[in-house]
Structure 1
Amino acid sequence: MKKGKGMRFVGDSRISADKTSTVPKDYSEYPGRTEAFWPNFLLKEWLVGSVFLVGFLCATIAAPAPLEGVADPTTAGYIPLPDWYFLFLYELLKYDFASGPYILFGILILPGLAFGALLLAPFLDNGPGRRPPNRPIAVGMMLLALASVFWLTYESASKVDWKEKAEANKPIPPSDLVIDTDDPGYAVYENSCIGCHGDSLEGGAAGPSLIGIEETPEEISKIAVEGIGDMPPGMFTGTDEELEQLVEFIMSVNEEAAE
């Protein structure tokens, strides 16, 4: 048999005669799509993402976020805030059209329409070109979304003194002091003060630390009976002798801490 046009010789019928080319296809016939996804386009995406990641890491090192203490559900006066990437939604709920009787509009309808529009943007503007002027609908929606998120985040963050908030709710370091639990004043402290000021006078969410205070024994006695600030009067209900033991115990712990 002669070799004719279109004739092929295959040694094994299980092996395909057509070889898959490893050379990227020529996309010059498709305007706007002139490069292969792998590795050309994907490599550019990785490079841009790496630049932004390094920039973000440098920003966190230069200005670290202030940390607060461990969350305490028993603190009624604490106002929690969402993480920074949800601050724009938190700010949105402060407007009249998205709060109160219109709260469902703020938490469901408006965010749903916004994210739904972003999902539909590629289908509403599916032109072949990738340049921004060639895709006005998708680019316009994206710019509007970015501007809204940035503005709402800035408005929410600018109204909070983050350093002051972190200082007021800073983590309580563990105390190295050894508390003498056999001291008569500790029994009085345990009955009246331990719930707010902690086992080792280190303080808690409901009361400040009693270590390193500058009050005199007379002032401590007055505060224990009459209260101060968020501490209401009547927290201590013991006798005068027990009050004296409590004050002596607190002063002895502070003297030990000063050493």
Structure 2
Amino acid sequence: MHRGKGLKFVGDSRVPADGRKPNIPKDYSEYPGKTEAFWPNFLLKEWLVGAVFLVGFLCLTVAHPSPLEKIADPSDTAYIPLPDWYFLFLYQLLKYAYASGPYNVIGALVIPGLAFGALLLAPFIDRGPERRPSKRPLATGFMLLALAGITYLTWESVAMHDWEAAAEQGKIVAEVEIDTSAEGYQLLEANGCITCHGGELQGGPAAPALIDTGLAPEEVAEIAKNGRGAMPGGLFTGSDEELQTLAEFISGLKSE
């Protein structure tokens, strides 16, 4: 047989011509210095970093315990609730005229929905391969706008909130069993004192607690008649005998 005659070359489509196997990932050892084994190298580093943050968080909780308030009272209509710090910007948004009252749906659903929807769509709108923020204007702009809005609303909420009143209304005070059938309590209720001082006389944002005042009946009567601080005078409209009964009742409210 002569050379080159009678020979046929058959190609098989199942065998890549260049020897590549796209469906089989390369071993990490082919990339020295750029990757490492997940177990135990990478996972150990993750655990070490997590342990450092956990210890730091535990030290923070020991040094600054969580501030506790009094037991929640659903009947206390004077209580002003305050959300956690990461929701303060939404809390502040609901204070504006265009996002509260009849427009509450706009502040609670429409504006947050548009804002978070824009953040979710940002990766799909700007799909460029660049990683520098300056070369990704849409993604960078969305993120900066979101951070600026959240920071501003959070700052406004903190600045406008009456922290002294919040601390006063949430203060854990000693409780005493109130005899609501007593004449002194009936006089408090008749003169509208319950509105500010609370049904259990535990106080509120604009009025102190009437338990453990440390005041003598004469001092209580003077305050009830002439007022003190934010409390104006002339609120008590009863007789002198009723004023004395009310003063003795308040002066005798002591926790055990």
Using the size of structure 1 for normalisation, the TM-score is 0.57
Contact 1:118/1:141 (CA < 8 Å) preserved in 2? yes
Unaligned runs of 5+ in 2: 1-23
Change (3 A) 1:152 1:191: closer
1:67–1:166 CA contact under 8 A, matched in 2 = no
Could you say if the C-alpha distance between residues 212 and 225 of structure 1 is closer, same or farther in structure 2, counting changes exceeding 3 Å?
closer
Aligned-partner Cα distance in 1 for 2:54–2:148: 21
Q: State the one-letter code of the partner of 1:132.
A: P
Following TM superposition, by how much is the alpha carbon of 1:170 offset from its aligned partner in structure 2, in angstroms? 0.7
Partner of 2:14: none
State the alpha-carbon separation in 2 of the partners of residues 247 and 106 from structure 1: 47
Matched, 1:115 2:119: no
Q: Secondary structure at the match of 1:72?
A: coil
Distance change in 2, residues 1:164/1:49 (3 Å): farther
TM-score, length basis structure 2: 0.57
- C-alpha distance 251-222 of structure 1, shift in aligned 2 (>3 A): same
User: Displacement, 1:116?
Assistant: 0.6
Tell me, what secondary structure is at the counterpart of 1:166?
helix
For residues 123 and 27 of structure 1, what CA distance do their matches in structure 2 show? 30
Residue aligning to 1:15: none
Shift of 1:112: 0.8
Q: Which residue of 2 aligns with 1:203?
A: 202
1:151/1:22 CA distance change after superposition, 3 Å: same
In structure 2, the residue matched to 1:220 is: 220
Please say if residues 94 and 107 of structure 2, whose CA atoms lie closer than 8 Å, have aligned partners that are also in contact: yes
Q: Distance in 1 between matches of 2:37 and 2:96?
A: 44
Distance in 2 between residues matched to 1:154 and 1:58, nearest whole Å: 27
Match runs of 1:32-181 below 5 Å = 35=35, 38=38, 66-100=67-101, 102-174=103-175
- The Cα of 1:36 is off from its aligned counterpart by 7.4
Corresponding position: 1:24 with 2:23: no
CA distance in 2, matches of 1:70, 1:87: 22
1:134 & 1:42 partners in 2: Cα distance? 33
Kept in 1: contact 2:175–2:211 (CA 8 A): no
RMSD: 4.8
Report if the CA contact (8 A) 1:24-1:36 is conserved. yes
Structure 1 window deviating more from structure 2 (159-168 vs 143-152): it is: 159-168
Residue 23 of structure 1 deviates from its aligned partner by 4.2
Q: Secondary structure at the match of 2:139?
A: helix
CA distance in 1, matches of 2:65, 2:55: 15
Number of the residue aligned with 2:10: none
- Matches of 1:103 and 1:38 in 2, distance apart? 49
Change (3 A) 1:75 1:251: closer
| CA gap 1:217/1:136 in 2 versus in 1, 3 angstroms | same
Distance 2:29 2:129 in 1: 18
Worse-matched range after superposition: 119-128 or 83-92? 119-128
Shift of 1:157: 0.6
CA contact (8 A) 1:66 1:163 kept: no
1:88 is displaced (CA, Å) by 0.5
Query: For residues 126 and 44 of structure 2, what CA distance do their matches in structure 1 show?
Result: 26
